[in-house]
Structure 1
Amino acid sequence: MLCCVNPDCQKPLNPNKNNYCHSCRAELIPLLGGRYRPTQVLSDEGGFGRTYLAEDVHKLNECCVVKQFAPKLQGTGPLTKAVELFKQEASRLQELGEHPQIPTLLAYFEQNHYLFLVQQFIDGQNLLKEWETQGSYSETEIRELLLDLLPVLKFIHARGVIHRDIKPQNIIRRQSDGRLVLIDFGASKQLTATVQTKMGTVIGSHGYTALEQMQDGKAYPASDLFSLGATSFHLLTGVRPSQLWIQHGYGWVASWRQYLLSPGRGEVSVSIELGEVLDKLLQLDIQKRYQSADEVITDLTPRLPPLSSVPPTILTPTIAASPASKGPVSSKPNNKLTSQLLLGTSIVVMGLGGVWYLQSRPHTMSEFSQPISQPIPPQKNVLKNSFLPKPLKGHSSDVNSVAFSPDSTTLASASDDQTIKLWNLASGQEIHTLEGHSNWIWTVAFSPDHKILASGSADKTIKLWNIDTGKLIRTLQGHSDGVTSVAFSPDGKTLASGSASKDKTIKLWNIDTGNLIRTLEGHSNGVPSVIFSPDGKTLASGGWDKTIKLWNLDTGKSIRSLEGNAGSILSVAFAGDGLTLASGSNDKTIKLWNLETGKLIHTLKGHTDKVNAVAFLPSTIPNGANLVSGSNDRTIKLWNLVTGKEIRTLETGSGYIYAIAISPDGQTIAGGGSGENILKVWQMIH
């Protein structure tokens, strides 16, 4: 298999014969740097790129690791910091790679406007996975861990480098000899470098990061030793420091022994000697903590035979393969537990070194940012995130589509987890989970009479569901590729469906019989969006071929094509008068079209990444807001179409926005996507 290196590609694995990605249609790069063939996604770096397993064709296809840098940050400050950290990782690896327990840097280059770093592949399992598989460590194993890693820390500290992100995920036990290898130097810093950062900024991982590093952004050898102590505590007790940090801050550190009583396995035995070592590693006051790796080794060595006399533990290597849906799942704290922490902060996760930037905000994620182009006059209506007290929790993977019932009481959401969920908006409770598709679900739509829900899936089928019972009515088959979009006609008698690249067609179905009415052909690539005009006489379709097509439904013929986007059309929407069409594109713009003339009215610019969804609001929304858009830049924006200006930006958290929907009564906006809060609802409060 060949891996697509478009960092936004949701299904990057391709057959070797492909020249273009079957999912995103990006041109495939067989060899990075002329020699490294990407074969698998190992991890997703939270908007900064990805890490791939690759083969070095100049070395008999020897495995290596390729890190890609493709940041999606707004503003020069965060971007400069991210570039600095990536280049710093390459520099650190080059300096430190002579140590046998640190990966060797193999190459560093730029290609197709991305930076790539190639390093030695460590065949083994990280300690978090080892702990999840084998259970908590014994005291002997903790001692062995410390005596294996402390010389590595001594080596890097002697060269003026602080790792700053030591945790189980960043330690791999090498299969060949059982030795521990320290990885991910993306957060490392030269001792002589300026490490003072903006107020509220931290580099590291909560629970494992020392107090001085968390508060002031300053790190020392003793800071790494605290992280090593927290890692030892995690592996010994089975309790994650990240969980305790969320619940108690640093309050757990002084009383860490209380967690030695583990449910189901009794009290963990820890000697006085090891207990004293952990006490000193976990001191909050840096002056009372160990100052060097040598000090810890001195306290441990008299109590343990030399490490060389201890036979290594050989483990079966495990590579964290990406799920079959939207790509890899990166190591990170438990989302459910961190959701409370995220409220009131702006977070960017950088997996190149386990880096978290937290920037204090005076308002919560439920509020809008201030308008860019014009002041907001006093108003009676305010969009808030308080219609439901929390995001809707239930899906285990990305939400690709959302839709409101005609009476505005029910929300449907479709996910990569192969389920559809129906939600009661008044209570926030799940009504039904609809299961039956055999692959991820791209799209859902309600019938106008609120009796049927249609869903389209990558399994190439459309399913019709009884909303009241949650039961399957029938399955429509006929597409030769995944079904990317579905829409009901205003009279509810016809369903339109668009399909992906291998099919490229639109099909019209009779809802009563389930029979195919006709197939519309004309797009030269997949059709991710279809919608009926308000009068039901015209169908609009947006294509990955960068065109919008208008179809006469009586004849099945194309009326005209609207062209002008530099990228694929990802979403189309009719205005209520049926005379205006909005389109969202991966060229980061929204275009408004006059359908009588076929001419472009406005190009709306403001998003910094592809626009996945557009929807019109009723004219009753304050301040002239009458269009909403959702983007991979993690925002939902409101626009005034008279002026073509952006009115407000709704910050949505850390995930991409794949879908938005407006309730028919105009009171509620729903957004679905990736990240921690993958399904959120905002209501218009009067």
Structure 2
Amino acid sequence: MGPACSKPPGDIATAAGVAQLPKIHGGAVLDAWCGGDNSVVTAGADGRVVLYDAAAGTAKTLGVHAAAANGVAAARDRAGAVYTCSRDLSVRRWPLARGPTQVIEAAHELAVTAVTVADDGATVASGSRDYRVKTWDAATGENAAAVRVPRNVVTCMCWRPTTQTFAQGSEDLRLRVWDARDLRQAAAQTFAGYEFFPLAVASAGPHLITASKGFGGEGGEVTLWDARRPGSEPLAVLRGHAQDATGVAFLRGGAGAASASKDGRVKLWDLEAGTLSRDVDAGGESPMYTSVCAAPGAATVAAVATTFQGDVFCFDREFRVAAAVG
């Protein structure tokens, strides 16, 4: 993980009366998903998958993987359940209310590093360090298709809203877009030109945005792509993170994008201008951020960021911390 960075100055973003959420994870929180009803689900290095109600200030453990839970995702239109992926080689479905847990054991041969879900919840896609991308029937848990691309060590995934395609980043310095209906050896689209490989990807409308690895002030860029133009130059390359940019999200209502980094910064970007609009200080002791996600709808919680130190910061629409674990 490396040494903690000294905490950088930033826009102190704490709302009055911050709700304290119960601390459940025993270590780093690696990823988070947030719904439109102030629900937040986190995946931890301890294998735990935790559901928070940020408005009520409550939490419960949905279940535990046998190894680190690397990622969490849910359908955009039918978020009755979340999916997680893990170093224990499984993909799991966790109902948010009632219903059975679904486990896809040995989904991959090596650690499952990323998972994403179609808008309608019918298809799940997963990626791994085994160079494979797979799709699954969400109703049955059966493998629908798989493709193996040499050196395609999967680092991140996201579904493209209102389409049957999903994007996938890799350590081979590529961002690929796959058609879930027909996986082939050659991806539907490929975006290249990375100096350091992407660690996170998000999608909105025709655009994709990635956050990349970096260190010592090199890399860590946030890159905006037009998914309608495969092989084209990026629309914008936003620089300012000093270490790995570990998370990125489009903000609701065309309000730009947020990125998070191991350098202790959460940054808000004006994508039209291609400039930094805010540098947010969420608090905590030299936080090393692991993810950031944005919520749909008009709930109090608009975005969530997580850290290696076990923090979970829930931001409101003004990007002030409204609820937190830490």
Shorter-chain TM-score range: 0.7 to 0.9
1:205-216 to structure 2, matched below 5 A, reads: none
Does residue 401 (structure 1) correspond to residue 31 (structure 2)? The answer is yes
2:66 aligned with 1:438: yes
Of 641, 656, 661 in structure 1, the residue corresponding to residue 293 of structure 2 is 661
Higher strand share: 2
Separation of aligned partners in 2, 1:521 and 1:387: 50
Shift of 1:434: 2.4
Identity, in percent, stands at: 23
What amino acid does structure 2 have at the position aligned with 1:511?
Answer: A
Q: Does 1:580 align with 2:207?
A: yes
4+ residue stretches of structure 1 with deviation over 6 A?
A: none
- Please state if 1:496 is matched with 2:128: no
Q: Does 1:477 align with 2:80?
A: no
Contact 1:385 1:681 in 2 (8 A): no
CA distance in 2, matches of 1:631, 1:682: 16
Give the superposition deviation at 1:506: 1.0
Is the Cα–Cα contact under 8 Å of residues 91 and 107 in structure 2 kept in the other structure? no
Which residue is equivalent to 1:601? 235
| Alignment length (residue pairs) | 305
Within 5 Å, give how 1:52-71 maps onto structure 2.
none
* Structure of higher CA gyration radius: 1
Of 640, 653, 672, the match for 2:306:
672
Provide, for residues 252-288 of structure 1, a one-character-per-residue CA deviation record: whole Å limited to 9, x for no partner: xxxxxxxxxxxxxxxxxxxxxxxxxxxxxxxxxxxxx
Matches within 5 A, 1:404-415: 404-405=34-35, 407-415=36-44
Q: How does 1:102-181 map to 2 (within 5 A)?
A: none
* Deviation readout 1:367-398 (Å, 9 max, x if unpaired): 826xxxxxxxxxxxxx6445743365221100
Tell me how far 1:648 sits from its aligned partner: 0.4
Quote the Cα distance in structure 2 between the aligned partners of 1:602 and 1:588: 14
1:402–1:672 Cα contact (<8 Å) kept: yes
Relative to structure 1, the CA distance from residue 468 to residue 388 in structure 2 (aligned partners, 3 Å threshold; closer, same or farther) is farther
Amino acid corresponding to residue 680 of structure 1 in structure 2: F
- Where structure 2 has 5 or more consecutive residues not aligned to the other structure, the ranges are 214-218, 320-326
Q: Are the structure 2 counterparts of residues 638 and 391 from structure 1 closer, same or farther at C-alpha, using a change threshold of 3 Å?
A: farther
Change (3 A) 1:523 1:452: farther
- State the one-letter code of the partner of 1:678: D
Equivalent runs, 1:454-465 vs 2, <5 Å: 454-465=83-94
Query: 1:450 is matched with which residue: 79, 96, 112?
Result: 79
Q: Which amino acid aligns with 1:496?
A: A
Alignment partner of 1:505 is 2:139: no
Equivalent position of 1:551 in the other structure: 178
How far, CA to CA, are the matches of 1:387 and 1:559 in structure 2? 48
Q: Is the 8 A contact 1:582 1:590 kept in 2?
A: yes
Alignment of 1:321-360 (within 5 A): none
| Residues 47-106 of structure 1 deviation map (CA, whole Å, 9 limit, x = unaligned) | 2xxxxxxxxxxxxxxxxxxxxxxxx45xxxxxxxxxxxxxxxxxxxxxxxxxxxxxxxxx
Asked whether the 8 Å contact 1:384–1:684 carries over to 2, the reply is no
Higher helix content, 1 or 2: 1
Distance 2:56 2:20 in 1: 11
Residue segments in structure 1 that go unaligned for 5+ positions in a row: 1-6, 9-45, 48-71, 74-346, 349-360, 362-366, 370-382
Q: CA deviation at 1:564?
A: 1.0
Q: Is the 8 A contact 2:289 2:305 kept in 1?
A: yes
Please state if 1:639 is matched with 2:282. Answer: no
Q: Secondary structure at 1:619's aligned position in 2?
A: helix
Distance 1:478-1:685 versus aligned 2 partners, 3 A rule: closer
Alpha-carbon deviation of 1:555? 2.2
Give the direction of change, closer, same or farther, for the CA distance of 1:521–1:386 in structure 2 (3 Å limit): farther
Q: Would the aligned equivalents of 1:545 and 1:569 in 2 still touch at CA under 8 Å?
A: no
Equivalent position amino acid for 2:171 in 1: W
Task: Report the RMSD for the aligned CA atoms in angstroms.
Answer: 2.3
Please tell me whether residue 426 in structure 1 is matched to residue 60 in structure 2. no
Shift of 1:471: 5.2
Whether 1:681 aligns to 2:314 is yes
How many Å apart are 1:562 and its aligned residue? 0.7
Structure 2 residue aligned with 1:528, among 155, 159, 184? 155
Q: What secondary structure sits across from 1:528 in the alignment?
A: strand
| 3-state SS of 2:181 partner | coil
RCO greater where, 1 or 2, for CA within 8 Å and sep 6 or more?
2
SS of the equivalent of 1:477 reads: coil
